[in-house]
A and B are shown apart, each in its own frame.
Chain A
Amino acid sequence: MGANDSYFSGIKKIFNREQPRMPVIIFCLILVAVISIILAIGLGPVSVAPATVARIIGSKIPFLKEYILPTWAKVDENIVWGLRFPRVLLGMIVGSSLSVTGVAMQALVRNHLADPFILGVSSGASATATLGMLFGVFSFLGPYALSISAFFGAALTIMLVYTISRVRGRINIPQLLLSGVALSMIMDAVTRIITLSAPNALGLHNVTYWLSGSLAGAKWGYLTLPAATICFCMIILLANHRALNALLMGDETAGTLGFNVGRLQKMLVLVSSLMAGTTIAVSGTIGFVGLMVPHITRLLVGSDHKRVLPVCALLGGILVVWVDVAARLIIAPEELPIGVLTAIFGGPLFIWLLKRNTARR
């Protein structure tokens, strides 16, 4: 019993909301992330031992490769390096992006319930992405056409939701949720019409991909843009962590604390759309991650954005990596769309938050 107690008090000391030990938490999360990546690469319809995974990855790193003897089968290397590694990394990036987008949107509308999926931003991005593919509007932009059209859809939806739900300078919560639902239904319908009527133009992408999300098609080439985007947006958000904290106190208060609120809101719309757009272009809509992860993060380390942002990015990545493992194992050799699984866990949490929010007022 005594040992158990001290174990718990140790955990409490690290994750204490008043003064969390940030270096310890970040270090642990990075460690868990690396271990998760290695384990997740090994898991699937064909399993590869974690040690082999680690050695195959090691063999790709200059300097290190001279010390590693290639004793594994060529098939394993193809699975690990060609298929699973990019997929798991994409899961990491998508999870981080969606979670951080959730944090940014929650600061923008000052509410726990904001999330790119719930407010229709993901649906907007999917709709314009499919439109862009069909008509080739942005085709002159080459490989980034899809991401850029998704970005425009995300930005348009955020601005619409934000404008509709603002009543006399304040965000009206029922209005916010209703406009989010309405917009996401409209946008989903657009996506459905496009994908069903022009299946050839859309290549591999089908309705399920856009509406429920999937990491199945991951390639190395898909990683660059979303990875660059999340790094860029994280730096901007971390630089403005004080402003984000102040925004949670209200627009007027943030103004009296010396922040240019109009400019901040534009920055948040831009950053959220960038992250949502680039993510959705490569993974489709994965719902509720942006809702769940920030919430769990705040329970662990409090609401200060200086702590919330890095913890949220790491936790989100780890969560999506494991949900994706579940997605490819539960009904193997078939795959579940990952968005179906996140909805099963995220939906109830959303309802609980909604109940709690109304109870407080």
Chain B
Amino acid sequence: MKLQVENLSFAYDQDPIIEDISLTVEKGEFVGLIGPNGSGKSTVLKNLYRALQPNAGVVKLDENNLFKLSHKEAATKIGVVGQENVLPFDFTVEEIVAMGRSPYKKLFDGDTQKDKEIISKSLTYMGIAGMAKRNFLHLSGGEKQRVLLARVIAQETDFLILDEPTNHLDIGYQIQILDFVKNLKVTVLAALHDLNLAAMYCDRLYVLKNGCIYKSGTPEEVLTPEIIYDVYGIKADVSKHPATGKLNITFLPGSLNLN
């Protein structure tokens, strides 16, 4: 599935948040959206998964206008793990994963045998089959994120939008979550905070600054010391790691007086 975004703009009242965003995600690609806090990463994603309505711009999914699709149709094509994971009510892990089947259900429909199989497969894939009956509220941050990913896997979409999926997780969980996503072999557009992780997992990157796309390209093209300094205001040393073959970014903070 291919996603094409053309000249997308969004403003809260008169206050523009993102302006003239154009990006594409080709089938099978893992594309990262990076940029400092408040640069508009989440806003771009929210406009794509229709939590916000853009003021201008076109979004095409395989040549179809995304905004012309019904909510239900869109939910069978795009799966989303957003930043909402505060749940004020008790649900079991299994019930939450079962919600992923919602777009395929009509009013009154119960879960069929096929749904149950898909749900248990998703749980097994994320390695949380043993927690199926546990209460979501009692899980740790990393476990919760695995449950939300299992839900989106049960949704069976070819395209995933992830909004900082590794936020608040320890490094072990960060890598585990991104490995799970990478191994799904679906098309992914993800907002990421950690530049080293972005370099390791993404095929291409878009850098956002003040609501505009500042630069785009492969991690090697985008993650140069100059651009990192321009966007984040911090000096960095960028090298290729001999074992992984991926970029390795070392930050050089001013307090260390390295000149």
Bound CA span A24–B57, Å: 55
In the bound complex, residues from chain B placing their C-beta under 8 Å from that of A110 are 88
In the bound complex, residues from chain B placing their C-beta under 8 Å from that of A329 are none
Question: Is the C-beta of A298 less than 8 angstroms from some C-beta in chain B?
Answer: yes
Bound CA span A260–B110, Å: 20
Instruction: Specify which of A240, A249, A251 is in contact with B107 (CB 8 Å cutoff).
Output: A240
Are A17's CB and B99's CB within 8 A? Answer: no
For B, the interface residue count at a CB cutoff of 8 angstroms equals 37
Are A257's CB and B99's CB within 8 A? Answer: yes
Bound CA span A350–B140, Å: 28
Instruction: Specify which of A112, A257, A298 is in contact with B103 (CB 8 Å cutoff).
Output: A257
Give the interface segment out of B28-36, B79-87, B189-197, B220-228. B79-87
Question: Is the C-beta of A303 less than 8 angstroms from some C-beta in chain B?
Answer: yes
Q: How many cross-chain pairs have Cβ atoms below 8 Å apart between A and B?
A: 89
Are A111's CB and B95's CB within 8 A? Answer: no
In the bound complex, residues from chain A placing their C-beta under 8 Å from that of B46 are 252
Question: Is the C-beta of A152 less than 8 angstroms from some C-beta in chain B?
Answer: no
In the bound complex, residues from chain B placing their C-beta under 8 Å from that of A302 are 90-92, 95
Nearest Cβ distance between residue A224 and chain B, in whole angstroms? 26
Question: Is the C-beta of A143 less than 8 angstroms from some C-beta in chain B?
Answer: no
B104-138 CB mask vs A (1 if < 8 Å, else 0) is 01011110000000000000000000000101000
Are A258's CB and B99's CB within 8 A? Answer: no
Instruction: Specify which of B86, B91, B133, B135 is in contact with A304 (CB 8 Å cutoff).
Output: B91
Instruction: Specify which of A18, A251, A256, A260 is in contact with B92 (CB 8 Å cutoff).
Output: A18
Question: Is the C-beta of B23 less than 8 angstroms from some C-beta in chain A?
Answer: no
Nearest Cβ distance between residue A167 and chain B, in whole angstroms? 12
Are A250's CB and B71's CB within 8 A? Answer: no
Are B74's CB and A258's CB within 8 A? Answer: yes
Question: Is the C-beta of A253 less than 8 angstroms from some C-beta in chain B?
Answer: yes
Are A258's CB and B92's CB within 8 A? Answer: no
Are A256's CB and B89's CB within 8 A? Answer: no
Question: Is the C-beta of A30 less than 8 angstroms from some C-beta in chain B?
Answer: no
Give residues of chain A (240-294) contacting chain B, Cβ–Cβ below 8 Å.
240, 242-243, 245-246, 248-253, 255-260
Instruction: Specify which of B49, B73, B90, B109 is in contact with A256 (CB 8 Å cutoff).
Output: B49
Are B90's CB and A249's CB within 8 A? Answer: no
Question: Is the C-beta of B9 less than 8 angstroms from some C-beta in chain A?
Answer: no
Are B89's CB and A303's CB within 8 A? Answer: yes
In the bound complex, residues from chain A placing their C-beta under 8 Å from that of B74 are 258
- From A238, A256, A258, A306, residue with most partner B Cβ within 10 Å: A256
Instruction: Specify which of A238, A250, A253, A304 is in contact with B95 (CB 8 Å cutoff).
Output: A304
Question: Is the C-beta of B4 less than 8 angstroms from some C-beta in chain A?
Answer: no
Are B103's CB and A253's CB within 8 A? Answer: no
A252-B82 contact, Cβ under 8 Å, with A239-B107, A258-B76: yes
Are B107's CB and A298's CB within 8 A? Answer: no
Nearest Cβ distance between residue A268 and chain B, in whole angstroms? 15
Nearest Cβ distance between residue B88 and chain A, in whole angstroms? 6
A250-B103 contact, Cβ under 8 Å, with A256-B49, A302-B90, A303-B90: no
Bound CA span A298–B137, Å: 14
A255-B87 contact, Cβ under 8 Å, with A245-B99, A302-B95: no
Are A112's CB and B88's CB within 8 A? Answer: yes
Nearest Cβ distance between residue A265 and chain B, in whole angstroms? 13
Closest to A294 in B: B89
Question: Is the C-beta of B155 less than 8 angstroms from some C-beta in chain A?
Answer: yes
Are A258's CB and B88's CB within 8 A? Answer: no
Instruction: Specify which of A248, A251, A257, A260 is in contact with B102 (CB 8 Å cutoff).
Output: A257
In the bound complex, residues from chain B placing their C-beta under 8 Å from that of A250 are 82, 84, 86
In the bound complex, residues from chain A placing their C-beta under 8 Å from that of B73 are 258
Are B105's CB and A259's CB within 8 A? Answer: no
A249-B84 contact, Cβ under 8 Å, with A17-B90, A302-B91: yes
* Contacts A17-B135, A302-B91 known; 15 new A-B pairs at CB < 8 A: A17-B90, A17-B92, A18-B133, A112-B88, A242-B105, A242-B109, A250-B82, A251-B51, A252-B46, A253-B82, A256-B79, A258-B72, A259-B72, A304-B95, A357-B88
**Would you give 27 A-B contacts (Cβ < 8 Å), ordered by A?**
A19-B133, A111-B88, A239-B107, A242-B99, A245-B91, A248-B87, A249-B87, A250-B84, A252-B82, A253-B80, A253-B84, A255-B50, A255-B51, A256-B75, A256-B78, A256-B80, A257-B103, A258-B72, A258-B76, A258-B103, A259-B71, A259-B72, A259-B102, A302-B92, A303-B89, A304-B91, A357-B88
Which 10 A-B pairs rank lowest in CB-CB distance, beginning with the nearest? Answer: A258-B75, A258-B103, A250-B84, A256-B80, A239-B107, A258-B72, A252-B51, A18-B133, A303-B89, A257-B102
